[in-house]
Structures are given as C-alpha cells and as structure tokens.
Structure 1
Amino acid sequence: MIKIGEINKLEIIKITAFGYYLREEGGVEEILLPNSSVKGDIAVGDTLDFFVYKDSEDRPIATMKTPLAKVGDIASLKVVSKTRIGAFVDIGLEKDILVPLKETEFPLEENEYYFFYVYLDKTERIAATPRIDKKLEYVSPYNPGDDVTALVYDFSEAESALVAVDNKYRGLILKNEYFVNLKKGDEVKGKVKKIYEDGTLSITLRTATHRDERLSLEDTILEYLKSHNGVMPYCDKSSPDDIRKQFNTSKNYFKNALGGLMKKKLIKQDENGTTLL
C-alpha cells in the first residue's frame, strides 16, 4: 500500500512526454512522477525510493526531491504565506503544506521559522501543526538507563528543555541535567534517567557517575585556583547563575565538589570566596 507523506519504493513502469508513471510492486495504482521532480538518470524497470504526496487536485504524485520533513516528523519549517484558512509552510517540495487555522495557538509570521509536527489530515493531505506537545506519545519502549536521541523543540519557564525522543515520545531535560548551550533544533544523545508517572521521559546528558563528575569538578576548581593566584570569588554561597557561567555545572554539584576539597584540606572558604591551602 502506497503511503502518502512517506518514502515509498516504486517501480518505473512507463515514460510519457510529461513524466514517468510508477507502481508499487504487486499493486495496480499508477502514480505520476513529473519531469520537474526527476533527479539523475532513471529508466523504465528501475525500482527506486520516491516521496509521495497529494497535488492540488487530490491526486497522489511522486517526487525524487527529499522533503524537509515526512509525516510523523517534527521539523523547523518556514512560513511562506498566510490565508484566511491558515498558513502555508515550505516543506522543500513543489507544493507548500497547510497549517490549518484551527491548529494555530499563536500568530505565525511570514518568513519566520517555527517547529511543526507533520501529519495527514482527514483527506490524506499533508498538513502541519505547531501543537507539538499534543502529538507526542507518553508511553515509550524505553527504560531508565537506555540511550536515546532527542530533538529540542522548546524550553519551559524553568529552562528545562522540552524534547521529542525519536520524534515520537515526550521527553524533558531538566536544567541541571545539561551544561551545554542548548537551543531549539539541537539533536542530542542522552540517557533515560527516570520515567515520570505520566510516561514522560526524564533525559540526562550526563555520561559520568556522580562520583566521577564530582572528582572531575574538583580538579577543575583546583586548576582554576592555581591559575588565579590561589583565590576565587566563588564559594557555596555564590549564585547558581555565576557558578553555571564559570564552571558549567549546577550549584548543587559545585557545593559537593567544594565539600570534597575541604575534607581533603585543600581549600578554605570565607565571605570573600575560596582560597587554595
């Protein structure tokens, strides 16, 4: 069965003046591949991958162009026009796709990029919605400790990264679980730390154990002190933002590392900061 909005393996069965006709193995439906959508040399009898969508007359049509997103994907797409029925976004094909007005929760501006979930509407036309959260599934096959790949599509007010795991499952990276400059559109690899009651995956980008991270941070602090004449203005009373900016870590981890160094009698703290002993 030919799948609209996805890559299909189809055989070229005949050629005409305006394009090629394709058919699925064992199928009877013929789909047009317009000359404008051909890439490279092809011939009757070839079986190749083609993306299939519907044209303005609701007829399935094929292309050899690679779309910016397929059905089920989340992608950053450009709004190219706005009409009374909704906005249209560029998907990298001859035909732009509709973002229905009823799917729009905030104003979409022309020539701006937004994250959209791509889906098939009731007429099997490809459409898009910015309501990404509502399209992600809560129940996933993953367990704590599993490796995952996730796409950052937004941030919460608390600066936690909202992510789509495998472009399908709902995930969250808490602010204290990442210490890189994440931005929308980043693809990250991490581990499932826990699973919330609703099924949302809590993802961590940390790869080391807590003990290894503490020891590594202790070394970083000592190196900083040695390169700054044995003193620094940071201590366990410093603000979380200052600690994050300088040491790329959370205040909790920073305090643990300072505690470890004090137990080893390598540093001391006072109201002015930290001093190397």
Structure 2
Amino acid sequence: MIAVGQYCNLKVSKKVDFGYYLEDKFGDEVLLPNSAAKGHEIKEGDKLEVFVYRDSQDRLISTLKKPLLTVGEIAYLEVVSQNNIGAFVNFGLERDLFVPLKEQGFKLKEGKKYLFYMYVDKTDRLAATTRIDQYLALAEEGKYKVSDEVNAIVYDTCENGTLNVAIDGEYRGLILANEHFDYIYPGQEIKARIKKIYEDGTIGVTTRKKRLEARSELSEEILKYLRENGGFMPFNDKSSPEDIKKQFNTSKNYFKMTLGGLMKEKLITQDKEGTKLL
C-alpha cells in the first residue's frame, strides 16, 4: 500500500512525458513528476525511495526531495501564511503543510518557527498540529543527567508561569515559573540546564545560571549601573521585588545576596536612599 506522508520503496513502471509512474508490489501506482526528479537519472525497472504526498490539486504524487518531517514526527517549522481557516508551514516541499485553526494551541505568526507534529487527517491529507505534548518521549534512564546543557523549544505556556518545552526536539520537559525571569513565548528556542529528572521521565530544566556564575554577572551589572549613573542607584536591599526584577531581571533574594557580597568587598555602601559606589 502506498501511504501518504511516508517514504515508500517503489519500482519505476513506465516513463511518460510529464514524469514517471512508480508502483508497489500490489500494482498500486503513484506519479513522480519531472520537477520532483531533477538531477536524477531514472529508467524503467529502477527501485526508488520516494516521499508520497498530495499536490495542490489534491492528487497523490511522489518526490525524491526530502521533507523536514514525515507522518508521526515533530519538526521546528516556519509559518509562511495564515488565513481564516488555518495556517501553512514550510516543510521542505513545493506544497506547504496545513495547520487547521482547531489545531493551533496559540496564535501563530508569519515568519516565526514553532514545533509541529504531522498527521494524516480524515480526508487522507497531510496536516499538522501544535499540540505535541502526547507525542514527545520521556527521557530513558541514563540519557541525561543533572547539569547537562540542552536545547529547549517552548511549545505551551501555563497560567501559573510554567513552560512546557521539548528537549532536543524529542523529549518532554518543563521550566517552572521560578526557573525563568524573561518572558519566553511559544516557539522560542533557548539554551537551558537540567535541574531535575522526574520519576515519570519528564525533564525539569532552568534558564538560570549556576549560583556563582549568576552572582558574578549580577555583581558586574550592578557595578556598571553605578558607574554609569554617577556612583548611585535608587535600589537597595529594601527595594520592592517588582522594581528589582524590572531593572535587573533577578529575584530580590539574589539581589540582596549580591549586594551583601559587594559590601563585604568594600565596593559599595547602602543607606535608606539607595546604594553608593565606594
């Protein structure tokens, strides 16, 4: 059986003006257009591995080009257009892949990339969805360890601030609200560090740097702010968490610890007005 959305190994049965007809062992045929066979020398009787899909006129055709994913796979794809029935994403072939509105878990933007899972719909056409959670794998024992640096792509956001992410495009992960400070939107690709591997295989990651590294960077940022503002800043360890996060993108606790370290080094002093450079 010739399956749409998959690679098939087929035999060239005949040559026609507009391409080649390929057949499987049951005698079912599919066309390989000339445009999809450019650069290849093909003759009757050859065995070819082709990808099967439907063209813009909904005809079943094949190609020697390699798409960015096949049915049952997840890939990071760019949105090329959007209309009132859905969106279209580039998956590496002449025809773009359709994403129905009901399969969009968030608003897609043209020119942006997101993770999509490809499936065959009820009409035997290829389609994609952003709802990929159930198709991600759980990390097998020994695959990752705590402190490993990984690539993560956000595929869903929760009201409590937790982010659902795909680790290395394949494994299910999450970033708790207190493990990121910047706003991270669906589709964003980030570098993260594994903080915990849960019993079910879900990978907990963080965008926060290791404590010493983070405190060193924050110290430099505070000193730079002071130097650029006449040696004074209207922030101290009594400032509100909101003001601290807005200016320095960190928690009040980290800010207080960093100020304490700078005071021990006799680089700054604090009073009720703020902080001064010594």
Query: What is the distance in 1 between the residues matched to 2:74 and 2:201?
Result: 20
Match of 2:194? 192
TM-score norm. by structure 2 comes to 0.71
Match of 2:131? 131
How is 1:231-250 mapped onto 2 (pairs within 5 angstroms)? Answer: 231-250=232-251
Query: What is the distance in 2 between the residues matched to 1:110 and 1:189?
Result: 22
How is 1:41-56 mapped onto 2 (pairs within 5 angstroms)? Answer: 41-44=39-42, 50-53=50-53
Q: Which amino acid aligns with 1:15?
A: K
Query: What is the distance in 2 between the residues matched to 1:170 and 1:163?
Result: 6
**2:255 is the counterpart of 1:254:** yes
- Stretch of structure 1 that moved more, 53-62 or 70-79: 53-62
Match of 2:216? 215
- Per-residue Cα deviation, 1:115-168 (whole angstroms, up to 9, x for no partner): 642234588753323423333334443332333222222332344432112333
Match of 1:203? 205
Query: What is the distance in 1 between the residues matched to 2:27 and 2:8?
Result: 15
CA 1:59 to 1:220, structure 2 compared with 1: closer, same or farther past 3 Å? same
Query: What is the distance in 1 between the residues matched to 2:255 and 2:59?
Result: 61
| Cα deviation, residue 194, structure 1 | 0.8
The answer to whether the Cα contact below 8 Å between 2:155 and 2:187 also exists between their aligned partners in 1 is yes
CA 1:169 to 1:268, structure 2 compared with 1: closer, same or farther past 3 Å? same
The answer to whether the Cα contact below 8 Å between 1:80 and 1:111 also exists between their aligned partners in 2 is no
Match of 1:155? 157
Query: What is the distance in 2 between the residues matched to 1:155 and 1:107?
Result: 9
TM-score norm. by structure 1 comes to 0.71
Query: What is the distance in 2 between the residues matched to 1:204 and 1:110?
Result: 26
| Cα deviation, residue 172, structure 1 | 1.7
The answer to whether the Cα contact below 8 Å between 1:243 and 1:254 also exists between their aligned partners in 2 is yes
- Per-residue Cα deviation, 1:31-80 (whole angstroms, up to 9, x for no partner): 43223434x42211698874333569998632255646543114454555
How is 1:1-277 mapped onto 2 (pairs within 5 angstroms)? Answer: 4-6=4-6, 15-21=15-21, 31-38=30-37, 40-44=38-42, 50-53=50-53, 61-64=61-64, 67=67, 69-71=69-71, 72-74=73-75, 75=77, 77=79, 78-80=81-83, 82=85, 89-91=88-90, 93=93, 104=103, 116-120=116-120, 125-140=125-140, 141-178=143-180, 182-206=184-208, 209-277=210-278
| Cα deviation, residue 232, structure 1 | 0.6
Query: What is the distance in 2 between the residues matched to 1:176 and 1:123?
Result: 44
| SS of match in other structure, 1:262 | helix
| SS of match in other structure, 2:187 | coil
| Cα deviation, residue 250, structure 1 | 3.2
| SS of match in other structure, 1:237 | coil
| Aligned Cα root-mean-square deviation (Å) | 4.3
| SS of match in other structure, 1:117 | strand
User: Matched residue pairs, number?
Assistant: 269
The answer to whether the Cα contact below 8 Å between 1:15 and 1:44 also exists between their aligned partners in 2 is no
The answer to whether the Cα contact below 8 Å between 2:115 and 2:155 also exists between their aligned partners in 1 is yes
CA 1:247 to 1:56, structure 2 compared with 1: closer, same or farther past 3 Å? closer
The answer to whether the Cα contact below 8 Å between 1:81 and 1:110 also exists between their aligned partners in 2 is no
| Cα deviation, residue 96, structure 1 | 5.9
The answer to whether the Cα contact below 8 Å between 1:176 and 1:249 also exists between their aligned partners in 2 is no
